[in-house]
Amino acid sequence: MTLVHGEQDITPARGGSDGTAWSDNGPWETLRDRKEVLVVAQTMVYAQRLHDFYSMLAADLRVQVRFTVAPHVFNRGTAEVLQALGGTVLPWKQAVRQEFDLVLAAGSRGMEQLRGPIVRLPHGAGNIKLSRRSAPDGERDAIGLGPDYLYWEGRLVPASFALAHEEELLELRRSCPEAVPIAEVVGDPSYDRIAAALPHRERYRAALGLRPEEKLVLVASTWGDGSLFSRLDAVLPRLTSELPRRGYRTVLLAHPNIAATHSSYAVRSWASATARGAVTVIPPETDWRPLLVAADFIVGDHGSVTLYGAMTGAPVLLAQYPHRHVNPRSPAAQLAGTAPALAPGHPLVGQLAYAAEQYRPEEYAAIAARISSEPGRFDRNARRLLYRVLGLGQPAHTPDPEPLPLPAPLPDPLDAGTAAGSRRAG
């Protein structure tokens, strides 16, 4: 037996007979008797959404947070995002064999296989999209709130369901009344972070490298055949050819599911080709919220990012809106009846000016108020819920929410074009 400094070698075993890594090093652990928390990220979007939940547990030595990636068609790149945090990412086969004191999830895939009380939360704002399947009454449920997303073989899977707004509770009562007793309205973390960042908007603009006179046009697309991205070749060329290069900066924020399906390379290639290099494509792992805070105009669709844009004071132009797939009771439907639609055959600079002229802050504030009915209270409410499920007393201090990080500078397409010209000349 190997000796190290006069003691037995205490290097823990690194795997089981099936080749998987052990999640528990038993007697070799420095911190013992901790509550085990599993964060389940089916996709990159879900991983980003869950961050504001599990980060509230990060400083508690009584709690160990681990991660796993559940099987999902859109999970490409998710493991790499979690590994970049430096946390333990358990193989899915191992995660389903282990008992946990709390499981955090924003999706439903694979949840019935896990052992431990599951706290679910919506993966986006406003429960916008409708399920493609009809309920027995002929109506379509909002995605995430119907029995298909909460039940498995007659069993209600989550132990608790954290909602952002009282309206979602009403929607749940309509679509899955059996789940109402486990539902709890805690608020929306992105709403609170964006609201806290807006007074510091100029700091975010400076971090992006925007000049004071520059207008940032944020093109925000959800995924799917009704998204803005599905008609990118009709939208981007106009934005990048009609807007003056020196007065406007255009960035494309595409839903990570698009890159998960088609690859980040394809998204960059398509966007660069249609915009002739005059647009900055934001990588899918980037925190989108600082860009939204800094935006002067938002060109979007029925996605969550466009809806959060109602908070910011930036005029919104809708370039795509698939009515048949959108929950008519959602705030996104209200936004579609308020924001002007991108019109063919009219100069784009004039349309942005029209959107700014027609902007009524009180109308957008009413839409934004439907994102969270607990504004500024997400951290307190969510932490109380998590510690109740864990069976632990909360830390003896008010939660201190993390501010939105300052973004990395945007590459300037003008500089890129100059550099490319210099190389060709050379």
| Most confident residue range from 241-245, 390-394, 421-425 | 390-394
Banded pLDDT at 13 (limits 50, 70, 90): very low
Q: Is residue 284 part of a domain?
A: yes
The yes-or-no verdict on residue 133 having pLDDT over 70 is: no
Given a cut of 50, is residue 173 above it in pLDDT?
A: yes
Q: Are residues 286 and 252 in the same domain?
A: yes
Contact 176, 120 (CB under 8 A): no
Residue 404 has pLDDT above 80, yes or no: yes
Q: Let me know whether 234 and 129 are in one domain.
A: no
By CB neighbour count within 10 A (0-12 exposed, 13-18 middle, 19+ buried), where does 163 fall? buried
pLDDT of residue 29 exceeding 70, the answer is: no
- Evaluate whether residue 16 is within a structural domain: no
Same domain, 208 and 171: no
Say if residue 99 is in the same domain as residue 219.
Answer: no
Q: Give the integer Cα–Cα distance in Å for 394 and 230.
A: 46
- Average pLDDT on 112-121 reads 95
Which domain does 151 fall in, by range?
32-188+375-390
Q: Are residues 221 and 127 in the same domain?
A: no
Asked whether the predicted pLDDT for residue 400 surpasses 90, the reply is no
Which candidate, 164, 130, 163, 126, places its Cα nearest to that of 148? Answer: 130
- Dihedral sign computed on CA atoms, order 318, 322, 324, 326: negative
Confidence of residue 18 (pLDDT cuts 50, 70, 90): very low
What letter would DSSP give residue 99?
B
Quick check: 190 and 311 in contact, CB under 8 A? no
Please state the rounded mean pLDDT for residues 124-147: 76
Task: Give the neighbor-by-neighbor strand order of the sheet with 89-90.
Answer: 89-90, 63-68, 35-40, 102-105, 118-120, 160-163, 183-185
For residues 304 and 309, give the distance between their C-alpha atoms in angstroms, rounded to a whole number: 9
Whether the per-residue pLDDT at 413 is higher than 70: the answer is no
**pLDDT confidence tier of residue 122, bands split at 50, 70 and 90:** confident
pTM of the model: 0.89
Mean pLDDT of 305-310: 97
pLDDT at 346: 92
* Whether the Cβ atoms of residue 113 and residue 74 lie closer than 8 Å to each other: no
The pLDDT tens digits of the residues spanning 309-346 come to 999 999 999 999 998 889 999 999 999 999 999 998 89
Q: 215 and 66 in one domain?
A: no
pLDDT, residue 90, reads 96
The number of distinct structural domains making up the chain is 2
Let me know if residue 244 belongs to a domain: yes
Tell me what the mean pLDDT of segment 71-86 comes to.
90
Q: What is the CATH number of the domain that holds 286?
A: 3.40.50.2000
Confidence at 12, pLDDT banded by 50, 70, 90: very low
82 & 124 share domain: yes
Percent of the chain at pLDDT > 70 equals: 88
Structure confidence at residue 366 as a pLDDT band (50, 70, 90): very high
Residue 126 shares a structural domain with residue 218:
no
Question: Is a pLDDT exceeding 90 seen at residue 24?
Answer: no
Asked whether the predicted pLDDT for residue 354 surpasses 60, the reply is yes
Per residue in 83-95, pLDDT tens?
A: 988 889 999 999 9
Evaluate whether 393 touches 276 at the Cβ level (below 8 Å): no
